[in-house]
Structure 1
Amino acid sequence: MRMDRERDAAGPLVRGFGPAGFKVDAPDGAMGVYPALLLTATRADMWAPPPLDALDALALAPLLGDPIEFVLLGTGTDLRRPPRALIAALEARGVGIEAMDSRAAARAWGVLRAEDRRVAAALYPLEG
C-alpha cells in the first residue's frame, strides 16, 4: 500500500508498506525499505525484533532516550497484546504503549507526527 502525504511532519515518514517492509523517507530525501522498523522523531532504524512474547524494554531502548508520551507498537499482520512485563516497565518510566497491527501503526505514525506528538514506534514485520 502506498500512502501519499505532504511532508508536514518532522522526521521520517512511512510512505507505504508491503511484503518487503515499510518504505520510509527521511527529511533529507533519503528513502529506505525496512522489514522491521524503529522510528523516532529524528530517525528510522532497521530492527531485529525478538518474538513478541519476549519483547522487553531492552529491545526498545533505542526509542527510550528522548522524552516520549508513548510507544506505538505494530505487532505484525494481526493485533496482539504486548507482554505485561513490558507494559509495566514502560509505565514505570512514565511511557505508555499502544499496540495495533503494523499497518495501522504505520498509518498512525504519520498522523501523530503531523500533530507533533512525542511518540516513538516499533513495527514488527508484515510477513514471516
Structure 2
Amino acid sequence: MKLQPDRLDVQSILGYGPGWVGLGHNGVAEKVEYSVVIGSGGERFAWNCPKFEQLTAEHFALLTTTQPELVIFGSGTRLRFPPPAFLRSLMEKRIGIETMDTLAACRTYNILAGEGRRVIAALLIETESPVNEASD
C-alpha cells in the first residue's frame, strides 16, 4: 500500500507491505525489511526484535532516549498489546503510547509527523519463518 505524507520535510513512511516498510526523507526512499524506529525529528534505528513474542521492557525503554511526546507502536500484522510492565519507562517519563497494527501505525505516524508533532513510530516488521511440512 502506498502512503502519501502531508509534509515532505520530515521523515515519512511511503509504503508498507508484508515484511517491509518504505521510508523516505529529503527525496531518498528506502525499503526496510526489519523492525525499525523512526521519528519526526529524523531519528532512525533498527529495533532489534523480529517477533512480538521477543519484545521486552528494554525495547520500550530504548524509546525514551528520543524524548518524544508520543510513541506509536506497530505490533505487526495484527493488533497485540505489550504487557503494561513493558511500558513503565514510557509512563514514568510521561510519554504517551498508542498501540495498533503496523499498517495503522504507519498511517498514524505520517499524519502526526505531518502536523509537526514530536512522534516516534516503533514498527514491528515480522518475518515469517518457513513452515516445516511433515513428509509422509
1:7-36 deviation line (CA, Å, top 9, x unaligned)? x15421000011240000112x22211122
Matched residues, number: 126
Q: What is the CA-CA distance between 1:127 and the residue it aligns to?
A: 4.4
- For 2:50 and 2:127, the matched residues in 1 are separated by 15
Q: TM-score, normalised by structure 2?
A: 0.79
Identity %: 30
Letter of the 2:20 partner, please give it.
G
Residues 28-107 of structure 1 aligned to structure 2 (within 5 Å): 29-35=27-33, 36-41=35-40, 42-49=42-49, 51-107=51-107
Residues 2-41 of structure 1 aligned to structure 2 (within 5 Å): 2-6=2-6, 8=7, 10-27=9-26, 29-35=27-33, 36-41=35-40
- For 1:3 and 1:87, the matched residues in 2 are separated by 28
Q: TM-score, normalised by structure 1?
A: 0.84
- For 1:48 and 1:104, the matched residues in 2 are separated by 21
CA RMSD between the two structures: 2.1
Which runs of 5 or more residues in structure 1 are unaligned? none
Q: Which has the larger radius of gyration?
A: 2
8 Å contact from structure 2 (residues 11, 25) kept in 1: yes
8 Å contact from structure 1 (residues 55, 83) kept in 2: no
- For 1:116 and 1:9, the matched residues in 2 are separated by 11
Which runs of 5 or more residues in structure 2 are unaligned? 129-136
Greater mean alpha carbon deviation, residues 12-21 or residues 96-105:
12-21
